Each structure stands twice: as C-alpha cells, then as structure tokens.
A and B are shown apart, each in its own frame.
Chain A
Amino acid sequence: MSPRLRKIAVPLAAVVIFLIFWEFLVWAMGWPNYKMASPSDLVPAYTRYWELFLVMGWQTLWRTVVGLILAIIVGVAIGMVMGFSRVMREALYPLLVGFNAIPKATVVPIVALMFVGAHDFNTVLIAFMISFFPIAVSISIGLSTLEPEYRDILRALGASQSTIFWKIALPKTLPEFFGALKVAVTLAFIGTNLMEIVSPHGRGLGALFDSGKTNSDYPLMFAVLIALAALGILLYYIVVWLESIFAGWAERAPG
C-alpha cells in the first residue's frame, strides 16, 4: 500500500471499526434509544434534518473560526509583549493564569446576560476567551527562551529588533505556536458550543442539540454529537495542514 493511501485508509478503517463496534454494543446490550442511540439510528436523523445540519453546522463553524482568529491576534500580541519584556511577563502572568482558571461554563451565563440578544457576538467572545491563553503562553515562551546566540548573530551585524523578530524569533516560535493552535482550536469549538447550548433561542449545532433534548429526540442529540466530532476533526486537520506548510521544517525526516 502506498504511504499516501495508507494515511487515509488506516484512519478511515479505524472509524468504520469504531462504528461497527458501537452498533454491536448497543444491539448486544439491548439499550433503548433514549439510553444510547446506535449509528443506524443516526442515518434517519441526518436524512430528516440535513438542511438544519448544514445551516447550524455552518454557524458553529464560522463563529468558532472568527473567535479563533481573534484569539490568534490577541494571543500573539500578548505573547509578544510578554516574550520581549520580563516586567510585562511578571505582571501579566498571574492575571492570565487566573483568568484561564475560571471555568468558562460560569462565564457563559454572565456574558449572555451582559450582551443580551447579541448571540453571534457572545458566541465569538466565549470562543475567543477560552482559546487565546495557550496561544499567548506559547508565543511568550517561544520568544523568551530564544537562545541569546540567535539574537547575537543578527544583532552583531547591526540588525534592528524588528528584523530579528521577523527573521528569527517568529519562525523559530512557529512550531510551538501551531502546537498551541491545535489545543486552541478544540477549545474555541467547546466555547462556541457552550454558548450555543446555554443561550435561549441560540443558533448553531449546540442549539440543535438543545432542541433535540427538549423534544426527547435522542437520535438527533447523538447525531449532533457526531456532527460536532466531524467538525472538530475538520478544524483540527486544517491546522495540521497549515502547520505542515509553515512549520513543516520542524518535523524530522522519517527514518
């Protein structure tokens, strides 16, 4: 099997085996739908609501991505400030850690009340708040742990701080940045869904889940979970793809 084919076939086979196992488990245990839906129950849910899935999925997707882009901009900015200035690092670190330690489930209702009705805004805000922390930390650590020799090589030639940043500090930090982005993308996704589920008259897959709950439509709820997983995988692999383009050099050649 060619390595290319294997890269797709192996994970796909794993998914199929997982679905078969799930189906078998539900059948063998004799679980009713409201306890645990099986994959075969999901097919009708998807065919009946496919339009809803597309619309809601898109809403979840774009709000997650906007929140994530905000998190990247703000996270990189904070990370740069903390990476270049020790004073700022010492000042901001406890604040950031404290902010990150607050469970976002408690922030969601507060934000929902603060900006009542601004559902898109609220959702993007939570997605952003939950995901910028790893980005800020990775950038600040990447910059502050840059070996002084790297800086000296350029500084000794009279290079400016910004030249050093663009030519060395930034590219050198990219692998850590993408590592953090993989975590952040999942977090942003969780943030979006938290808000969608909690908000009354929400939108997105979270709201669809909520309506499934209200109507005791268990297969629908499970179908939403699977759709969420699929979207999460999609986002994650987009980051992996970007990483291979911009930080592919950090990956050791196999063998």
Chain B
Amino acid sequence: MTNLIEIKGVRHAYQTPSGPLPVLDGLDVAVPEGGFVAVVGPSGCGKSTLTRLVAGLIKPDEGEVWLHGEKVKGPRSTVGMAFQNPVLLEWRSILKNVMLPLEIVPTKMSRKAQEERARYLLGLVGLEGFEDKRPSELSGGMRQRASLCRALVHKPEVLILDEPFGALDAFTREDLWQTMQKVKEAEPFTGVLITHDLRESIYLADQVVVLSGRPARTQYVLDVPDRGHDIEQLYTPESAEMLAILRHQIEVAQGRAPVEEGVA
C-alpha cells in the first residue's frame, strides 16, 4: 500500500523575537491513500504547524513531506483545508463561498458543472435551501458544514481539517461527525484530522497519532478498527479501552504521567 501522505523526520522551529522556538522535532506520520488519520496532542504542541507543512504553506527545517510520491515544495491545489474558524466570506452567498476554490484552482469544469458540484456538496451536508443565504444567517454548525464543502469542492486528494468541530457544542459536534461519515463515503479523499476530542478521533479516524508535548514528535500510534457509523459504538468496552489508552498517552505527552513500556 502506498502512502499518500508521508511525513519523515520533520523538524521545524519558528523564528521569534526571543530566539527560535522548536515546534516539531522528529515527526513521522504516514497516511495511506483513502486513509483518515486523527492527530491529537497537548495544546500548542505543533498540530497546526503540521497541517501547514502538509499544505505546503511552510517548509520544514529538516526532514521531508511527501504527497502522492512528490516532495512538497509549496502550496498545491490538490489540498483542501478547513479550520476551527470557518472563515467564510461574509460578502458572498453560501454557494459562492463554496465555489471560491474553483476561482483559483485550474479546473476543466464548466461554470454550470461547478455550480452543480457546489449544490451537490451542500445537499450532502444538509445545507440544501441555504445556498443563497449569507454566512451571518447560518448557525456555527451550518457554517462549519459550508466550510467543509468549500474544502472539498475542487476534489482535493488530501483533506486537512484543523479542529473543525472544536468550537461547536456537543450535540452539534456529534451531528457533524455523522455528516463527516456520510461525506467520507460519497467523496474519496485522504484525510488528516487535528482534534482535541478523543472520542471524535476514534469515531472518525482509522488511525490516531498522539504527538508529544512541544517540540512534538510522534509519541504513539493507535490503529482503530472499523466499527460502523453508529454513535453508540463509542460506548462499547472496546472504545472505552481505546479512549483510556489515548487519555493516558495525552497525560504522558503533557508530562503528567510517567512514561511506561510499550510507548512508541
């Protein structure tokens, strides 16, 4: 199986007024084609930095990032991104917001096909009928759905989600998890999901990567078996066990628990 995303031994430091701030140090992540990897770790450890590296927005000081067998040297249109802040453009309708990437990425789609694709995606995430609304007329969860459509509209190979559901209330968040499962079935992509919600990570991803505290390295990798889309699966003993392992790993990463055997 080839890995669509490969991050190998990446080191990165930000230059700050008080000297360099090492953020990533020996990071390895591999995501096979069609895979969906969740990345969890203490806040401020470098998760967003990781997404910026994959998107080609910054270059690593050391190590390499590969996408589809090519070394990442800069931004590429085969990436779609969504953040905690949905950053919709208030002066555009929802439909026009979703179509924004198509104005930048070279596309063979006709104008009509572009609009149809945007409408199809909006329908997929349950925003049918909101195409002509302004972002300010939508709830937080709906805006996040629209932001997801925008990230997908140009059929990216790689979808990068940086805590997309982090600012939503628990109920809305679970709704969006289910929407996400639906989207995953309908749209082929390889995904990286940054999250601080462990239940979210095992519900959505097929692999969970735990990063150490800053500077972050890959501390632990958990493979999650496919257990269907029922939210109830989060309350099985199997899930409880996985959550306990992850919670412990986070505590290790935060320096609150001693490192034990079996830690990667």
Chain A residues with CB under 8 Å of chain B are 147, 149-150, 152-159, 163, 167-168, 171-172, 174, 247, 249-250, 252-253
Say yes or no: A157-B57 contact (C-beta < 8 A), given A150-B87, A152-B81, A168-B89. Answer: no
Give chain B nearest CB distance to A106 CB in angstroms: 39
Say yes or no: A157-B154 contact (C-beta < 8 A), given A167-B100, A252-B136. Answer: yes
Given contacts A152-B83, A156-B75, A158-B77, 6 further A-B contacts (CB under 8 A): A149-B85, A152-B55, A156-B81, A157-B77, A158-B105, A252-B136
B57 touches which of A147, A152, A167, A174 (Cβ 8 Å): A152
A158, A163, A250 — most chain B CB neighbours (10 Å):
A158
B71 interface contact, C-beta 8 A: no
Give chain B nearest CB distance to A157 CB in angstroms: 5
CB nearest to A156 among chain B residues: B55
Give chain B nearest CB distance to A151 CB in angstroms: 9
Contact present for A157 and B101 (CB under 8 Å): yes
Q: Mostly helix, strand, loop or mixed at chain B's interface?
A: loop
Contact present for A163 and B104 (CB under 8 Å): yes
Residue pairs across A and B with Cβ atoms less than 8 A apart, 24 shown, are A149-B83, A149-B85, A149-B87, A152-B55, A153-B81, A153-B100, A155-B57, A156-B56, A156-B75, A157-B77, A157-B101, A157-B105, A157-B154, A158-B75, A159-B104, A167-B103, A171-B89, A171-B91, A172-B90, A249-B90, A249-B134, A250-B90, A250-B91, A253-B136
CB nearest to B82 among chain A residues: A153
Complex Cα distance, B133 from A253, in Å, reads 12
Say yes or no: A147-B100 contact (C-beta < 8 A), given A158-B77, A249-B91, A253-B137. Answer: no
CB nearest to A246 among chain B residues: B91
A-B contact count (CB 8 A): 58
Interface band, chain B: 20 to 34
Q: Mostly helix, strand, loop or mixed at chain A's interface?
A: helix
Contacts of B134 in A (CB 8 A): 249
Contacts of B83 in A (CB 8 A): 149, 152
Contact present for A153 and B103 (CB under 8 Å): no
Contact present for B75 and A155 (CB under 8 Å): yes
